[in-house]
Structure 1
Amino acid sequence: MAEPLKMITPAMLADDPFRPARVDFEKGLSSAPAFAIGLIIVNVLVFALEIKLSLLTSRKDVIYAGAVYGEKVFAGQSWRLVTGMFMHANLGHLFGNCLALYLVGMAAEQAWGRRRSLAIYFISGLAASFASAFLGTRPSVGASGALFGLMGAVMVFFFRHGNSFYARNRRVGNFLIAWSLLQLWLGSLNPRVDNWAHLGGMLAGSIIGAYMPSRFFEDKAAS
């Protein structure tokens, strides 16, 4: 006698005997990434100081204030590699970078936690500043090099661990790939955009993302 047909349930479709159980990257995702919010506050305060001291009125003033500029950096002013990543040229520049930092920061903090995300940000920012100083010809300011580093790290993270997540989780990495390529293309059309910093930061972040252990999977292994 033939067995009655069984109803196919969503749980049955979710199970894949040839792959390990998937995890939900978005579960417990914080909408207030502390490290990103802290950096946003610092960027806003630095920009307010730039406005108060009238440090954005000319190229000379921007360089004086601490912009990344190869001629000055290689003359011994290596501190510019740090100060430049906290300065911004105008309010739109600041807003765009802070918004991107908040959004990418949520994914980064979920993957690595606050301290490791902050380390990725700073190391990528330093690499971006060095690339700008070495290859660029104009003074450069902004957090975008460090941001491209964070994006590169998150993209590599999803490339490494993509099969461990649900398809809807992997859209984060896919979106960042498309968005970063768009920004690099737009930057190539605008001589005022420092794509050397973007590329330097992304390269550094991608390398870090390939080796940085994820607290997300450490937590899963410990449970």
Structure 2
Amino acid sequence: MNQFSPNTQFSFFPPAIKYLLIWNGIFFLATINIFGSGWTPMGSALAPLLVLQPFGDGFMPWQLVTYMFLHADFYHIFFNLFALWIFGQALEQLWGTKRFLMYYFLTGIGAGLIQLFVSSGSTIGASGAVYGILLGFGMMYPNRRIMLLFPPIPIKAKYFVGFYGALELFNGLTRADSGVAHFAHLGGLLVGFILIKLWGLKKPSEYA
């Protein structure tokens, strides 16, 4: 089967999602001290090589990929991977595994590049790629309702994505020193939008 074709059978853990979850979990257990705080000895040794470092201050090209597999703590990785699983399933089923993976990594790399140009700090986490996934879900399934937790009310995906995009822009402009890579999140949204338009990806017929 052509790997760019949509998957025909629904799965709660399609291949790309499954292996992204596994590899993020492996990197987390290897690098973060889950019984204390900070890096494990292996994490301390690998961090200078794998964390996305500023240009001219330890930057290496492969860090644009490896930074996506590193997370600061349990909450950081939990919310990123939970969002990847919740929103990514439908996209991988719709686009096929190969295109989904290309989209995921390109949005993550684009998010990292944008963060490098606006920040002098180091960056870790899959959030940029996850925001790209969120944008893709909102564009492919704009009227699908998402149940918010706080407050517990349903909201259409297109409004959910719009709210988070506006929030990240506001936070990026007003809270640049918060320690959160807001412009990486915005970069994931921007690159995701460009890719969807460039590739001509269409909504399923029920959302057309």
Structure 2: stretches of 5+ with no match in the other structure? 1-7, 147-155
Higher mean displacement: 176-185 or 41-50: 176-185
In the alignment, what sits opposite 1:201? 188
Shift of the 106–128 alpha-carbon distance from structure 1 to 2, 3 Å rule, reads same
1:192 to 179, 182, 192: 179
Alignment of 1:82 onto 2:69? no
- Residue 185 of structure 1: CA displacement? 4.9
Q: Contact 1:111–1:215 (CA<8 Å) still a contact in 2?
A: no
In the alignment, what sits opposite 2:162? 177
Q: State how many pairs are aligned.
A: 183
Query: What's the TM-score, normalizing by structure 2?
Result: 0.72
- Residue 142 of structure 1: CA displacement? 0.2
CA RMSD in angstroms, aligned pairs only:
3.4
Q: Contact 1:33–1:102 (CA<8 Å) still a contact in 2?
A: no
Shift of the 186–133 alpha-carbon distance from structure 1 to 2, 3 Å rule, reads closer
Counterpart residue identity of residue 137, structure 1? S
Shift of the 131–214 alpha-carbon distance from structure 1 to 2, 3 Å rule, reads closer
1:192 alignment partner, SS class: coil
1:127-152: CA deviation from partner (whole Å, max 9, x where unpaired): 01111222212111000001111222
1:140 to 123, 140, 162: 123
**Hey, what's the Cα distance between the residues in 2 that align with 1:181 and 1:111?**
27
1:70 alignment partner, SS class: coil
In the alignment, what sits opposite 2:76? 93
In the alignment, what sits opposite 1:41? 22
Counterpart residue identity of residue 209, structure 1? I
2:50 to 66, 76, 91: 66
Structure 1: stretches of 5+ with no match in the other structure? 1-26, 219-223
**Hey, what's the Cα distance between the residues in 1 that align with 2:38 and 2:102?**
29
**Hey, what's the Cα distance between the residues in 1 that align with 2:101 and 2:158?**
19
- Residue 217 of structure 1: CA displacement? 5.5
Counterpart residue identity of residue 78, structure 1? P
Identity of aligned residues (%): 30
Query: What's the TM-score, normalizing by structure 1?
Result: 0.68
**Hey, what's the Cα distance between the residues in 2 that align with 1:72 and 1:91?**
30
Flag the structure with larger Rg.
1
**Hey, what's the Cα distance between the residues in 1 that align with 2:166 and 2:183?**
14
Q: Contact 1:157–1:209 (CA<8 Å) still a contact in 2?
A: no
In the alignment, what sits opposite 2:152? none
